[in-house]
Structure 1
Amino acid sequence: MITVLLITIILLAISFAGFAITILIKKNGKFPELHLGKNEDLKKRGIGCATSQDKMEQAKAKRSHQFKQLTLLDKEVNSL
């Protein structure tokens, strides 16, 4: 049990050391941006973050008053 714990701690220490070395060796010292909204190639193709696109569409719908406060009964009556 203790040997497994020690091996795990050693492997984690090696991986953190690898990350630290990667940051020191890289030109800007930063990891690449992985967020879809900041990726220039995806922007050129018109692909964006699903969460951001959803927020924009909800705001657009709210401005155009597409959201109505209907109850389930009102929806049923309108569909008849």
Structure 2
Amino acid sequence: MFKVLLLAIALMAVVAVLFSVGVFLKKKGGMVNTHVGGNKELTKRGISCATSQDREERKKKNGAQ
């Protein structure tokens, strides 16, 4: 049981180190932006996330009154 736990911790440490190396070696660095607003192709098509669209619609509704 102890060997399995130690092996799991060691494996997670190796994964964390490799992930960190990948982040630091990228040209732009940092994490990947997975947000809809960070996608250039969706932005070109006028698609944004539901939260942003809701916020914009509420501003329009409140501003019209």
Q: TM-score, normalised by structure 1?
A: 0.67
- Give the alignment's Cα RMSD to 1 decimal: 1.6
Q: Unpaired segments of 5 or more residues in structure 2?
A: none
Deviation of residue 4 (structure 1)? 3.3
Q: TM-score, normalised by structure 2?
A: 0.78
- Bigger relative contact order, structure 1 or 2, given CA contacts below 8 A and separation 6+? 2
Computing the radius of gyration from Cα coordinates, the structure with the larger value is: 1
Q: Unpaired segments of 5 or more residues in structure 1?
A: 66-80
Q: Give aligned-pair identity as a percent.
A: 42
Q: Name the structure with the higher helix share.
A: 2
Counterparts of 2:62 and 2:37, CA distance in 1 = 23
